[in-house]
Amino acid sequence: MPAIIKTEDLSHVYSEGTPFCKTAVGGVNLSIEEGEMVGVIGHTGSGKSTLIQHFNGLLKPTTGKIYIDGQDIWANKQDIRSVRFKVGLVFQYPEYQLFEETVYKDIAFGPKNMGLSEEEIDERVHSAIRFVGLKESVLEKSPFDLSGGQKRRVAIAGVIAMDPKVLILDEPTAGLDPKGRDLILNQIMAYHEEKKNTVLLVSHSMEDIAKFATKVLVMNNAAVFTYDTVEAVFSRVEELNDMGLSTPQITRVFYELHKQGLPVSDKIFTVKAAREELLKRLQKGGGGC
Amino acid sequence: MLKDITIGQFFPGQSPVHKLDPRIKIILTLAYIVMLFMTGNAFGFLIPIVFLIVLYLIAHIPLKMILKSMKPIVPIIIITAVLNLFFVDGDPLWSWGIFTITKNGVAMSIMMAVRILCLIAGTSLLTYTTSPIALTDGIERLLSPLKKIHFPAHELAMMMTIALRFIPTLIEETDKIMSAQKARGADMETGGLIQRAKALVPILIPLFISAFRRAEELALAMECRCYHGGEGRTRMKQLHLSLRDAVASLVVAACIAGIVCINIFVTVGNF
């Protein structure tokens, strides 16, 4: 499959030449294929947010190149806006960017900036609100009258309405209750499955990553530590622990059980897989676990 | 980017300039301004210029930073210089129609440019080397004699502290909102004046909402910690004058005396 996002030796240095000078990302070589659901993990300050802001041209790399869909996005500076329509970025706490009088107008902001026709915008707004699981009746309300979770979904809809080829979400579930979290993640999953587009999901929840992602990108100390499948990444328990990251709870349980000599696999990443593994062991009749 | 604004930014350091008492620093900055406007002689300007260069060297502020903070005031300097160039009477050097350039005019415009540059660089040094907290603390203490006539010195200082404290936060917030709206294709760089003003709406509305939210949260947090104004409030860090402050004051006094002498005794290069 062709790479939709490719970086070559990408580095970004903040406030160069001042006492606050800091390398936020250094020497990133990455190639993300189309249609992947990528989980991005890394502790606070590891450079995740800086890296993802390069993918849609909000930050310009200090050195290195970024290719979206095979095109060097900084080859033509005038074209940078079109990159932003191709790569939709949902920031942390996106509800703070809402500003219009009605939800409809706010979701329409992106498509309007793309220069689409009224009918096209209308269609996009309605399909976006459906994707995030809100009722059509919300469209005429003021975004400031909605609940926190609803506001967030409206904000995500505002980016989805641009129909980007790549959707990047920076901690879309931060500060939500468990129900709101599952709701948003399931909607994003459904969207990904229907559109077959590439999704990057920054999250601190290893459980969510294991449940939804196909690949995992691990950032550590301003560099990419690894970019691999969920299985490959979460098998490196010790290394992740050393970085201050963890593995899904269920993985840790099975890892310890395995270490204690019980006949279970130590490569279990979701509760569902754990259940299957246990049932399999029980049917075999051995073990007594 | 907004982050590049450096006027009023604080550069942490351990230099003697950093360690001066903020009250003394504020007073000396005012004295420096007076010094600049007292100088009426080309040679006299050497004193404030050398004084400033030495202080910047002691404070270890990089030259790049100083130049950066000068950038926004370049238009003001140019306008002042040009105005002085054409509107000062004296022996004409060159004239064309109603425009006349005089010898005095050239001297005046150079002097004004130097004066403004020194003024900005001198006052910037105060904010470069004094943390906002120390600065407002100093202002409060300097204004405290006015409390006798019911001047709200503490409240004013608290407001200043909060305002200063929130400048970087609001700048960061603005940057974030700008990025978020840019990610949705907002175009802030092109278009006419009206279009650009309209492009600010998606930034200003969320910014105001978040500023009000923050203000409310801060007020609540302060009340939770029993804040009730300045009365009976003590401080963790007391300001103490030291030998360093006395030396600094003496140096400034000597500079002013030097300028007065030059004004009186040097006759070459007077204006």
Contact call for residues A41 and A218 (beta carbons, < 8 A) = yes
| B33 or B269: which leads in pLDDT | B33
Q: Is A74 on the interface with B (CB under 8 A)?
A: no
On whether the CB atoms of residues A202 and A52 are closer than 8 A, the answer is yes
Q: Tell me what pLDDT residue A267 has.
A: 83
Which residue of chain B is at minimal alpha-carbon distance from A55?
A: B183
pLDDT value of residue B217: 94
Q: How far is the alpha carbon of A110 from chain B, nearest alpha carbon, in Å? A: 5
Q: Largest Cα–Cα distance in chain A?
A: 67
Residue A105 has pLDDT above 60, yes or no: yes
By the CB < 8 Å criterion, does A18 face chain B? yes
Q: Confidence band (pLDDT; 50, 70, 90) for A119?
A: very high
Lowest mean pLDDT, pick from A12-16, A81-85, A96-100, B101-105: B101-105
pLDDT bin (cut points 50, 70, 90) of residue B254 is very high
Residues of A whose CB is below 8 A from B60: none
Burial class (CB in 10 A: 0-12, 13-18, 19+), A212: buried
Asked if the model's pLDDT at residue B266 lies above 80, the reply is: no
For A160, nearest residue in chain B (alpha carbons) = B184
Tell me if the pTM is above 0.80. Answer: no
Q: Is residue A180 pLDDT above 90, yes or no?
A: no
In the prediction, which pLDDT does B270 show? 61
Helix axes A178-195 and A118-131, enclosed angle (nearest 10): 130
Which pLDDT score is estimated for B171?
A: 87
- Which long-range contacts does B33-38 make (Cβ < 8 Å, 24+ apart)? B33/B119, B33/B122, B33/B123, B34/B256, B35/B252, B35/B255, B35/B256, B35/B259, B36/B115, B36/B118, B36/B119, B36/B122, B37/B115, B38/B256, B38/B259, B38/B260, B38/B263
Question: Given a cut of 70, is residue B271 above it in pLDDT?
Answer: no
Q: What residue of A is the nearest CA neighbor of B176? A: A91
pLDDT at A87 over 90: yes
CA distance B206 to chain A (A): 6
* A159–B185 CB contact, under 8 Å: no
Of A81, A97, A113, the CB nearest to B180: A97
* Residue A289 banded pLDDT, cuts 50, 70, 90: very low
pLDDT grade for B32, boundaries at 50, 70 and 90: very high
Indicate the pLDDT class of residue B5, thresholds 50, 70 and 90: low
Task: Return the beta strands (E) in A123-179 as ranges.
Answer: 166-170
User: What DSSP string describes A76-106?
Assistant: SGGGHHHHHHHEEEEPSSGGGG--SSSHHHH
Chain B contact present for A115, CB below 8 A: no
Q: Which residues of B touch A (CB under 8 A)?
A: 3, 11-12, 62, 64-65, 176-177, 179-187, 201-202, 205-206, 209-210
Q: Please judge whether B184 and A110 are an interchain contact, meaning their C-beta atoms are less than 8 angstroms apart.
A: yes
Rounded CA gap, A45 and A24, in Å? 8
If one counts every other C-beta atom within 10 angstroms of the C-beta of residue A258, the result is 15
Q: Are strands A87-90 and A71-72 parallel, antiparallel or unpaired?
A: unpaired
Residue spans per domain, chain A:
248-289
Q: pLDDT value at position A148? A: 87
What does the pLDDT read at residue A200? 95
Domain ranges, ordered by start, for chain B: 1-130+240-271, 158-229
Q: What's the pLDDT score for residue B203?
A: 92
Interchain proximity B201–A110, CB inside 8 Å: no
Mean per-residue pLDDT of chain B: 85
- C-beta atoms of A159 and B184 within 8 A: yes
**Contact at CB, A110 and B206, closer than 8 angstroms:** no
Token pair, residue A22, equals 């800091």
Name the pairing type of β-strands A166-170 and A22-33: unpaired
Residue A38: helix, strand or coil by DSSP?
A: strand
What is residue B71's DSSP assignment? G
For residues B200 and B177, what is the distance between their CA atoms, to the nearest angstrom?
A: 11
Q: What does each C-alpha distance from A48 to A79, A203, A270, A288, B215 come to in angstroms?
A: 25, 10, 24, 43, 30
Give B106 to chain A, closest Cα distance, Å.
36
Name the least confident of A29-33, A68-72, A254-258, B227-231. B227-231
| Segment A130-177, tens digit of pLDDT | 999 899 999 999 999 998 889 999 999 999 999 999 999 999 998 888
Q: Which H/E stretch holds residue A192?
A: helix A178-195
Say what the ipTM of the complex is.
0.85
**Range with the poorest average pLDDT among A123-127, A181-185, A284-288, B43-47:** A284-288
The CA–CA distances, whole Å, from A1 to A31, A32, A250 equal 11, 10, 32
Q: How confident is the model at residue B13 (pLDDT cuts 50, 70, 90)?
A: confident
Question: What residues have CB less than 8 Å from B238, skipping those under 6 apart?
Answer: none
**Residue A91 near residue B183, CB atoms below 8 Å:** yes
Question: B189 Cβ partners below 8 Å, 6+ apart?
Answer: none
Choose between A74 and B10: higher pLDDT.
Answer: A74
Return the higher-pLDDT residue of A125 and A26.
A125
Q: Is the pLDDT of residue A287 over 60?
A: no
User: For residue B137, what are its two tokens?
Assistant: 């603390």
Q: What is the DSSP string of B140-206?
A: HHHHGGGGGGT--HHHHHHHHHHHHHHHHHHHHHHHHHHHHHHHTT---SSS-HHHHHHHHHHHHHH
**Residue A191, min C-alpha distance to chain B (Å):** 19
